[in-house]
Structure 1
Amino acid sequence: MSEGDSGMEIVHLLREAIVELALTQGEFARNHGMHTTDVRALICLLDAGRAGDLLTPGRLGAQLGLNSAGTTSVIDRLERAGHLERLPDAHDRRRVRLKVSEQAVALGQGHFGPLIARTLDLLSTFDESEAAAVRRFLAGVRDAAQSRASG
């Protein structure tokens, strides 16, 4: 197998993994009466929370690529379902910050927990240099995808 064939095999495996993950995400959305955009919003909010930040509606909308009305619809749906809390901003009373509810975290852990556990089990079979290569590859793919608009 040539180097190009090997590279394309990895690209195809990555595509297959992305498709399977998207199907898993879609199943979670259907099972809990959500849009896939709602799940993406929860992921953005969880990622921000892990980084010690609570997003404003405007920042969430920017990450999702939604206008103000679309962002409000997502936030309202998630809040009505009990998946999201609006918290007053500690520094500006006019702003709110968004936080994923414990209920939503529990739902996510119930659905995605087994997949995460299997992924961590797989990663535990890699030595540190292999894990570093996987990390570097995935970060590079993420960066390439994020730069798609700039060509």
Structure 2
Amino acid sequence: MPDNPDPDPLELVHLLRAASVEFGLRQAEFGAAHGMHPTDVRALICLLDAARAGERATAGLLAARLGLNSAGTTAVIDRLERLGHVNRFRDGADRRRVLLQVSPEAVRMGQAFFGPVIDGLVDLLGTFGPAERAAIHRFLTSARTALTP
């Protein structure tokens, strides 16, 4: 299929949605393979994103990112902790605060499952020039902002 030099904006929105659906299906497969609810998988992703951004992950941060109330957030954290996917520990700077961290084993499980997909996408992005990657980055960043309540 030849590249369209000026794709229809609505087509791009539909392609973004389709890619999001595919990501969701892979997340569901991962969750099913490891006995996790879809919200548990989203919670792990949120915690990994927070770690990558250098944010201190708390139950409050997780609740806000997942749109859950306190009871729902506690249930997710309890399930993930029982499965050995999340560890809770006291913040060294503020002993009253409990921080959350994805366990090394859960990271390994995620890398084993999602690593090939991520590697393929990184390879694909390598076929785009710097200006194209900058445009993709700008679009995805703006789309995320537009989709965030």
Query: d(CA) in 2 for partners of 1:125 and 1:38?
Result: 34
Partner of 2:117: 115
Contact 1:45 1:55 survives alignment (8 Å): yes
CA RMSD, 1 decimal: 1.4
Q: Which residue number corresponds to residue 17 of structure 2?
A: 15
Moved >4 Å (runs of 4+): none
Displacement of 1:91 = 2.0
Displacement of 1:14 in angstroms is 1.1
**Structure 1 partner of 2:103:** 101
Say how many residue pairs are matched: 145
CA distance in 2, matches of 1:91, 1:71: 23
3-state secondary structure, aligned to 1:139: helix
Gaps (5+ residues) in structure 1?
none
**TM-score normalised by structure 1 residue count:** 0.91
Is the counterpart of residue 62 in structure 1 residue 67 in structure 2? no
Counterpart among 29, 46, 49 of residue 47 in structure 1: 49
- Percent identity at matched positions? 59
**Aligned partner letter, 2:139:** F
Q: Indicate the structure with greater helix content.
A: 1
Check whether the contact 1:45–1:54 (CA below 8 A) recurs between aligned residues. no
Q: Which amino acid aligns with 2:66?
A: L
Q: Which residue of 2 is the match for residue 140 of structure 1?
A: 142
